[in-house]
Amino acid sequence: MPVSMVKDFKSTADIPVPEKTIDQVIGQEKSVELIRKAAIQKRNVLLVGLPGIGKSMLAQAMAEIMPIQELQDILVYPNNADPNNPKIRVVKAAEGKKVVNDAAIEAMKEEGNSRMVGMILPLAFFLITFVLWQMGWISPDPVAAAVIFAASLILGGFILISAALATQMRSRESISTPKLLIDNAGKKTAPFIEATGAKAGALLGDVKHDPLQSGGLGTPAHLRVEPGMIHRTNNGVLFLDEISSLSAKSQQELLTAMQEKKYAITGQSELSSGSMVRTEPVPCDFVLVAAGNYEDLVRVHPALRSRIRGYGYEIYMNLDMEDNEENRTKLVQFVAQEIKKDGKIPHFERDAVEEIVLEARKRAQRKHRLTLKLRDLGGLVRAAGDIAKKKGAVLVSRQDVIEAKMSALTLEQQIMEKIIEHRKDYEVYISKGTAIGRVNGLAVSGDGSAGMILPIEAEIAPAASKAEGKIIATGKLGEIAREAVQNVSALVKKISGKDISRHDLHIQFLQTYEGVEGDSASVSVATAVISALEKIPVKQNLAMTGSLSVRGEVLPVGGITAKIEAAMKAGFTEVIIPRANLQDIVINQNELKKIKVIPVSSLEQVLDNAFERGKGKNKMLRSLKKILSLSFSGRLGMLGGKAVGK
């Protein structure tokens, strides 16, 4: 499909980039609308979706557009009545520093006066002693007078030193200068802090440990108080990604802070002297924007989630968007935004942007859609920019993007490529000839970015148990994969019409050390088992994928493009896929000519294309058509088996 985008631009240098973060969010129109409402009304928000689709960007945008309230500075003072309960004072923004400076000046004056008195008294003692000695008033005996004068000098020295030490060692507990906890001077937007992964002390505040708690050398409690992120975002936005990773205790404390809009600071460690200190409640009227994956919500405290839901919005974010001209134009804007943010790579030519859009279509793994995993796509933009920069090019070309796709493979893609090479070298799978009970299945990595070959073998053996035969599947199968094998086995028994109760059915997924999950190997398992039962050879130049219903329908699966690419790299010349996945293929037409893609809708069509021609095959297909009696077989007969590509 040709890429149609905004017209009249030669490079991304011609594309304007919005100044506001909210206008830079791509493909999340509903989320943006709700974030705007939440910002105006100061509502909490829970963003649910996969990483890299714009959750943190939405949170930051919310802080930018939130109506600015009167920001405040927060100070902490000593409490003479109870030193372990420091007092809190709130003043207007920018006044906090003035209060601290004024208090510091007063403290310096007091300290200067104390030092002056400590110096004057010993000097006065020396002077008086010297005058008395000179006038002979100390003693008529000169020797005795000299001894007494010397002793007086020594005593005066001790007094001078003691006065100096007393000034230096004066108990710091008497310091009355406040500490500026929160300084909002000069801020023009609501505070925003990303607290993802923060420990309890950083999130809720803490009081430092004081190892010198006696002898007048200790640090006053109010000077050891440290504000938490909930306090720093007072009248602002606190963003917590992966909210489920926060401990249950911290979630409870966070809920308390949200309800009370103030939270006292205390030491977080019971082994620290800071745990004895607890301030007066500190203001923390923040808006919480929490984020995470849907599967992790079970670890979110029910009361916290209820608080968000009752006083805000829960938003499930889009994973992809419709593939149309408007949205492709948004991707052009996205590329321009990434270039501006990076600041180190050149702009993209139009052809290079078209290649990025094509990659977005491919990564969506769904027909007529464009991926919104834009963080990963941004990585490709930067990789292509680095390549162009190294070449000294003024603009990034399509070839640079293609090279970037080859050099910036995901970890899963790199691993799968090595696995394919290894298995090909040792002939774990065969790409030529025929074999009975052996099929080359296809699978993908967990994120769907990397395809792999999944060799499957089936064998029929006498039952080990006299009671009945068993289905034995090996190869580190997951729960869904095992259930799929059971379903396929039920279908095979119906098709074969043979009594296999006295036989064990062995199904082996060869060298699947990575594990197998899902049901996309159903057609492969069925083909291998039927081949073993009927002794019909299977073509080994062919790979296949597809889910299978108990009625013999071939259902769509995920990662179809990655699977076909893996089949091509492994040297297969034909591949069977579900007909419903035909439009999900996003591969360059020149590359697609290397392999024949066969879309199918039923097991009958799978076997027709996979089995070697012969009497056994024809007999099996006739039996299959008769036994299944699918209501749609007539329509599928007209549609199935037509090749695409080679």
Whether 563 is a known active-site residue: answer: yes
Token readout for 194 is 């990303």
Element (H, E) at 134: helix 95-134
> Could you tell me which residues come within 8 angstroms of residue 180 by beta carbon, excluding any fewer than 6 positions away?
73, 74, 75, 96, 97, 99, 100
The residue annotated as part of the active site, out of 273, 397, 520, 601, is 520
With beta carbons less than 8 A apart as the criterion, state whether 220 and 176 touch. no
The angle formed by the CA atoms of residues 530, 479 and 485, to the nearest 5 degrees, is 5
Other Cβ atoms closer than 10 A to 70: 8
Q: What would you report as the CA-atom Rg of the chain, rounded to the nearest whole angstrom?
A: 38
> Could you tell me which residues come within 8 angstroms of residue 102 by beta carbon, excluding any fewer than 6 positions away?
none
Q: How far is CA 96 from CA 73, 86, 89, 90, 184, in A?
A: 5, 17, 10, 8, 9
Separation of alpha carbons 327 and 335, rounded Å: 13
> Could you tell me which residues come within 8 angstroms of residue 138 by beta carbon, excluding any fewer than 6 positions away?
132, 144, 145, 148, 149
With beta carbons less than 8 A apart as the criterion, state whether 371 and 360 touch. yes
> How far does the chain reach from its first CA to its final CA, in angstroms?
18
DSSP string, 436-457: ETEEEEEEE-TTSS-EEEEEEE
What's phi and psi for 487, nearest 5 deg? Answer: -65, -45
Query: Between β-strands 192-194 and 237-240, what pairing exists: parallel, antiparallel or unpaired?
Result: parallel
Whether 109 is a known active-site residue: answer: no
Token readout for 64 is 């930018």
Nearest to 525 by CA among 445, 612, 457, 602: 457
Give 542's strand partners. Answer: 574
Query: Between β-strands 312-316 and 287-292, what pairing exists: parallel, antiparallel or unpaired?
Result: unpaired
Other Cβ atoms closer than 10 A to 119: 14
> Could you tell me which residues come within 8 angstroms of residue 86 by beta carbon, excluding any fewer than 6 positions away?
76, 77, 78, 79, 221, 222, 225, 277, 279, 280
206: left (phi over 0), alpha (psi -120 to 50) or beta: beta
Separation of alpha carbons 490 and 373, rounded Å: 39
Other Cβ atoms closer than 10 A to 140: 8
The residue annotated as part of the active site, out of 42, 373, 563, 596, is 563
Active site residues: 520, 563
